[in-house]
Amino acid sequence: MATVDAGELGAGRPVVPAWRGGFGRLWAAAVVSRFGDALRGAALPLLAVSLTDSPVLVSLVTACGFLPWLLFGLIGGAIADRVDQRRAMWAVDGARAVLMAGFAVAVWLDRATIGLLLVLAFALTTLQTLFDNAATALLPSVVGEEALGRANARLMTGQEVMGRFVGAPLVPVLLGLGAAMPYAADAVTYLAAAVLVASLGVAPPRRAPRPPGGSLRRDIAEGLAVLWRDRTLRALCASTTLCNIGIGALIATLVLHITGWLGAGNTGYAVVITVYGIGSVAGGLVAARLTEKLGRVRTLLLCGTAQIGALVALGAIRSLPAAVAAMGLFGFAGIIWNVTEVTMTQERSPEGTLGRVSSAFRTLSIAGAPLGALLGGVMAAAWGLGTPALGAAALFVCGAAALVPGMRSDIN
């Protein structure tokens, strides 16, 4: 098991995860896997539109990224609490490597169809429900509770850099070498991540004896009950769900907002997305220090307030520079929120329940995104392309209001 750097154990000094040992390999596995995901995520929509001219079928590719979480997210969390999380993670990555390799062969042989693409997207996300819940539950065993905040920040920042600024820009190069290359490279990254996770020297998790006749349904119910009884986590989940509805509305219409309402074209949209990514990376770099200085609850409230301001500016000011600045701030505050949210879930979940609690949190909060996407489209059609951002701001205000009562006692 990895420990913290000895030099950081002095009184009053922040504890950071050691790069050597388990955390370094877990970080590398997460970053390599995110690189492959970025390749696939950028290439799949291009392949989809080459296979069909049906907007419904193309949109179903994105829907397959949400639906398995709603169907199997809670089951994935329950399984993650029953098994050795390290073994579950490398087994899942091994299975995903096989799936991607097979799909790459199908593309290479010109046998790919939109139906096969939909099945692949659904299968990969279904496997992800187990992998992500197992990864969240495993991290405290690798770095220790005192270093969770900084470990989460480093993981998310590394993934953001690799996905946005390395993986996605390489897709045109790989496509120039062959239509199957992005998927073949993704298969290799899954295999590399599986090897890295398998090499972790983490002791099997300690769990209380299971009651006779215990079932997945009972395990899921226990995870939901833990989330409901913890006033702080319950408030955080409700707030995140409301915010995700707003984010869904924003993401679904952002390209129309920038290219249509602002008239900035594809170049303007690319600039906005790039600055959003830069803001996210910058936020990840300061997330741990900010939460150590302000406390987790104050940090959440500050980030929520910043995102509300960014959304209001985005929806009210018809200017590309204002949109660029707003999305940079939105990304900066968003990743700090995510780091803090995950760390609080890890810290507050009772031993042996983290997989189920995190899956309950994820499933409930992710459910807001597709609802928000539909809401954003309706708002844009009814009241104009600038309104989804303002609607998202209103939902973020509701999210902040839901956060305060449950966390009043935790403000320090």
DSSP 279-322: HHHHHHHHHHHHHHHH-HHHHHHHHHHHHHHHHHHHHH---HHH
CA distances from 6 to 28, 45, 73, 152, 305 (A): 22, 47, 38, 20, 37
Terminal CA-to-CA distance of the chain, rounded, Å?
32
pLDDT band for position 106 (cuts 50, 70, 90): very high
On the 0-12 / 13-18 / 19+ scale of CB atoms within 10 A, 215 is: exposed
Q: What is the DSSP letter of 15?
A: P
Task: Give this prediction's pTM.
Answer: 0.83
Span 234-292, pLDDT tens digits: 999 999 999 999 998 888 788 888 888 888 887 888 888 889 999 999 999 999 899 98
User: What number of residues does the chain have?
Assistant: 412
Q: What is the mean pLDDT of residues 200-222?
A: 68
Q: Check whether 395 has a pLDDT greater than 80.
A: yes
For residue 409, pLDDT beyond 60: no
Give me the pLDDT at residue 128, please.
Answer: 87
Q: What percent of the chain has pLDDT over 70?
A: 89
State the pLDDT at residue 60.
74
Average pLDDT over residues 294-313: 93
Distance CA 17, CA 2 (A): 8
Q: Which has more pLDDT, 70 or 212?
A: 70
Summarize pLDDT for 113-167 with one digit per residue, the tens.
Answer: 888 988 998 899 888 888 888 888 888 888 877 888 888 888 899 988 988 888 8
Q: What is the mean pLDDT of the chain?
A: 85
**Does position 410 have pLDDT exceeding 80, yes or no?**
no
Q: What is the pLDDT of residue 412?
A: 47
Rounded to the nearest 10 degrees, the angle between the axes of helix 231-256 and helix 265-294 is 160
Decide which of 211 and 400 is more confident.
400
Tens-digit pLDDT profile for residues 352-366: 888 899 989 988 888
Q: Answer with the residue of higher pLDDT: 105 or 211.
A: 105
